[in-house]
Amino acid sequence: MEAKIKSYQEKETFERNGVSFVCSQTYQIGPDGEDFVDVETSNLNLLARQDAYRKATNLLTSSEIKEIRKNYHLSQKDFGQILGLGQIDIVRYETKAVQNRSINDLILRAKEDPLWFFEKFKTVENNLTLDKALEVREAIAQYSQNKGVLQTSLRNRIDYAYLPYQGQSDKNGGRELSIFNILSIIALGTRLGIFLYKTKAAKLLFYCDFLTQKETGHGLTGLIYSHTPYGALPLDFDDILSWPGIEKKEEVFYPGEDKESVSTLISSKAKNILLSQDTERVERVLKAFSSFSSAEISSYMHEEEVYQHTKMGQILSYDEAKRLRDLPKAD
């Protein structure tokens, strides 16, 4: 009767490229009581060490790479081809090889930005059968609707729009963009019963930011505003208003015979995370303009020096906030 081979695991510490990491290794005990490792176990041990190193250096693990690929219903070869890699590169990264940082970021973008991945896919989809191409298209579409993916992809687009203005400057009021401060302002407006249509919401955000700058020396949201015919408009405003937690409702108006106009009503039930003094300042702005229509608040803004001192498409400077006019008296 063949003796049964036993196995056991042992945690060990390894070091690579100056990085120390711990992982479990599997060993087997032969009939003679001696430790040994067969080929299959040796490969699994290698993969365990590679993944432990990847985790320690914030790289995607082999299983994470495989999951990204399978979300798109792609073979290793086709996934690699779409990303512009060699035919067996993905095979290596899913089994034993550790990807470098640039390759890791490429695969990570496939996970976080399905729209970008779809554009890459379209350049090679003719190499697939029609049925497979349709299957992958559907997989990309379904994956893109995942809430977490939508939020990450949305944040990537917003970050890309704000990339040229990184760091503290007169363009962002000395603050990094805070989506949650924006949510708080919109939520405060909702709780006060103010109808925040898209254009009006943009102007109220401007006044919240520039009044805060005037009174404290820094902005509130990190939004960057450009000069438009309707007044100051936050950069990438449509994407910002698509953030989870912001509700949008289209309303149709009939200003005249055979005419219709569509406006987008903005609201939020998000938690207010602003400090008490910032909340008080925001409420002052909201109440001051509560009875203003979008057109009226735009007209009021056209008289601001910060708006008049810029041309179409130019970015407004928070340094001009010191010349901001007094808020209208609330009704």
pLDDT tens track for 310-331: 999 999 999 999 999 999 986 6
Q: Rounded distance, CA 264 to CA 280, Å? A: 26
Domain CATH for 77:
1.10.260
| Alpha helix (H) residue ranges in the chain | 39-56, 62-71, 76-82, 89-95, 101-112, 114-122, 130-144, 147-162, 179-191, 198-216, 237-240, 276-288, 294-301, 305-308
Q: Is 155 a domain residue?
A: no
82 and 216 fall within a common domain: no
Whole-angstrom Cα distance, residue 317 to residue 309?
A: 9
Lowest-pLDDT choice from 38-52, 140-154, 180-194, 208-222: 140-154
185 and 252 co-located in one domain = yes
Phi, psi of 117 (to 5 degrees): -65, -35
Assess if residue 18 is contained within a domain. Answer: yes
For residues 260 and 42, give the distance between their C-alpha atoms in angstroms, rounded to a whole number. 71
Q: Of 191, 82, 203, which Cα lies nearest the Cα of 136?
A: 82
Residue 75 lies in a domain: yes
Question: Which residue range is the domain that position 90 belongs to?
Answer: 62-145
More confident residue, 284 or 43: 284
Would you say 197 and 263 are in contact if contact means Cβ atoms under 8 Å apart?
yes
**Tally of domains within the chain:** 3
My answer on whether 42 and 71 are in the same domain is no
What does the pLDDT look like over 246-292, one tens digit per residue? 998 876 655 555 555 567 899 999 999 999 999 999 999 999 999 99
Mean pLDDT of the chain: 90
Give pLDDT, residue 174. Answer: 93
Higher pLDDT pick, 152 / 54: 54
Alpha-carbon distance 123 to 78, whole Å? 12
Residue 318 tokens, joined: 């928070």
pLDDT of 37 reads 83
Distance separating alpha carbons of residues 268 and 105, to the nearest angstrom: 34
256, part of any domain = yes
The 10 Å Cβ neighbour count of residue 268 is 21
Nearest residue to 103 (alpha-carbon basis) of 59, 159, 147, 145: 59
Asked if residue 248 is part of any domain, the answer here is: yes
Q: What is the dihedral of CA 58, 62, 68, 70, to 10 degrees?
A: -170
Same domain, 49 and 140: no
Shared-domain flag, residues 24 and 66 = no
189 and 318 within one domain: yes
Domain shared by 252 and 175, yes or no: yes
Identity at 295, one-letter amino acid code: A
Task: Flag whether 138 is in a domain.
Answer: yes
Determine if the pTM surpasses 0.85.
Answer: no
In a domain? residue 232: yes
Residue 257 lies in a domain: yes
User: Is 163 or 35 the better-scoring residue by pLDDT?
Assistant: 163
